[in-house]
Amino acid sequence: MLARTKEYEADQAAVRLSGKETTAAMLIKLELRTRSLGEEFWPEFFKRASTEAEPPKETFNEMLNALRAPLPRDKAQAWFTQALTQKHDYSDTHPALGNRLEAIGYAEVRTSQDLQPFLRSDDEFGDDYFLQSVPAEFIASKNRLWREGVAESWRERFKFVVEADKSLAALEEKAKSEELNAEDRWERARLLRGTKGPEAALPLLREILAAEPEHPGANYNFGEALLEQGDDAGIRHIELTMEKEVHVIPAGCELIYNFLIKHKRAEEAERYRRCIKDYYREMELAQAERTTVSVNDGFKYHEVAPEVVRELGEQLKTYPDLAAAYLVQKVVQHFPQEPSYVLGVIRKRAWYSSSNNAQDVRLVGQLADQVTFPGFTFVIALDEGYKPLRKVFEQIQGAEVYRAIN
């Protein structure tokens, strides 16, 4: 009886071990195939939109064929190593590969980073087992649905390339007879980068930066091209752009992060991962700050250009219920370089009538939906809870942008 019990326990342990190995192999296969599609298949596939007017009819088939193709061992190892450097972000419902492997018993996987123990001798990277049972009609429907879904953006890309080529030809012709100005040089570099990629635009970008070292767009594209060539000098150029253009931070940090991970500099990369998280946290705080107004806030002169203020006044004239409007700038702590405006309005009403909150709300809604403002603008009626702000706005010189003529 004891011998049978030990034999049973040994069998169960073998089953558990087999299940653990199979699970690990499947997790890794999924990770590697996902990277293969994201880093090789799809980038190459979408390049065809530059030369083909219509999307392919059998995209899903092409993707399945790419999944069936064997992965070079060195490339698979490199992707595996990169995947293990990523840490789980608890805002993501899918744990990172390293976390998953550790959870099922591979505690030293991040240290060894060796793919070999997880390879299956019978089927290293093949996926036919899963794909052979897919019905033909399912694949046909996927081909059709994908083509319909991407058709518009595909055609837009093709149209952009055609028009960009024409503009580039015109600029090249112009350059033969006269020196291009700064705007023309940047347009030529931008179009070349958009059609041929960052590296193709490198010589033009160097010219622009020689004349204007702090040009944000040129610095970003130049930095991206250098990183693609494996030159970490591109990091500084992207950082220069992020210092001037705050909303470039997510894309810029992701570029740098991926570059550092690829070159096994995970500790340095972590700073840029945190930077992305900090940016989105700051965005949430900025949005909350700009969508609330109270008497405790600070306000100042709007600093909007006179011609923009005149245009705003012309728009406000078309609202017969509007008596007066004041435009001020709210003092904000988050992204202070981006002005946050408040338009305080006063609705017309007879001297003997009382306030009507419903009519105020309707007027505010109309203005918010229909008027073109110089930037983010929060519209309020200077009545009820906001009535104390009427005196505050009136005391800011230049705040009044509209007053109805009685």
Helices (H) and strands (E) in the chain, counts: 17, 5
Is residue 323 within 8 Å of 346, Cβ to Cβ? yes
State the CATH class of domain 206-289: mainly alpha
Q: Enumerate the β-bridge partners of residue 377.
A: 341
pLDDT of amino acid 393: 97
The residue among 147, 129, 145 whose CA lies nearest residue 137 is 145
Q: What pLDDT is stored for residue 126 in this prediction?
A: 52
Task: Give the tens place of pLDDT for each residue, 191-248.
Answer: 999 999 888 999 999 999 999 999 999 999 999 999 999 999 999 999 999 999 999 9
pLDDT at 378: 96
- Rounded Cα gap, residues 3 and 133, in angstroms: 43
pLDDT digits (tens, 9 = 90+) for 316-331: 999 999 999 999 999 9
Dist CA 278 CA 273 (whole Å) = 9
Q: What is the dihedral of CA 169, 205, 228, 193, to 10 degrees?
A: -30
Q: What is the pTM of this model?
A: 0.72
- Burial of 207 by CB count in 10 Å (0-12 exposed, 13-18 middle, 19+ buried)? middle
> To the nearest 10°, the Cα dihedral for 215, 219, 222, 223?
180
Ranges of the chain whose pLDDT falls below 50:
1-2, 4, 6-8, 10-17
| Class of residue 58 by CB neighbours under 10 A (exposed 0-12, middle 13-18, buried 19+) | middle
- Which tokens sit at 298? 């600070």
- Cα separation, 222 vs 234, whole angstroms: 7
Could you give the 3-state DSSP secondary structure of residue 26?
A: helix
Provide DSSP, 50-103: GT-SS--S-HHHHHHHHHHSPPPHHHHHHHHHHHHH----TTSSS--HHHHHHH
The alpha-helical segments, DSSP class H, found in 104-135 are: 109-112, 128-131
Looking at residue 384, its pLDDT comes to 83
Cβ-in-10-Å burial (0-12, 13-18, 19+) of 61 comes to middle
Tell me which residue of 361, 327, 356 sits closest to 341, measured CA to CA: 327
Bridge partners for 324 per DSSP: 346, 403
Beta 340-347 vs 377-381: how paired, if at all? parallel
Which one is the CATH code of 299-403: 3.40.1130, 3.10.120, 1.10.357, 3.30.460? Answer: 3.30.460
Q: Which of 212, 214, 192 is nearest to 203 (CA)?
A: 192
pLDDT value of residue 68: 82
How far is residue 150's CA from residue 297's CA, in Å, rounded to a whole number?
46
CA Rg, the chain, in Å? 30
Residues 6 or more apart from 401 whose CB is under 8 A from it? 309, 312, 313, 316, 325, 326, 327, 343
Q: Per-domain residue ranges for the chain?
A: 2-138, 206-289, 299-403
**H-assigned helices in 291-403:** 306-316, 357-370, 388-394
Beta-bridged to residue 346, according to DSSP, are 324
Residue 31: predicted pLDDT: 87
Are 105 and 20 in contact by the 8 Å Cβ rule? The answer is yes
pLDDT given at position 128: 57
How many CB atoms neighbour CB 209 within 10 A? 18
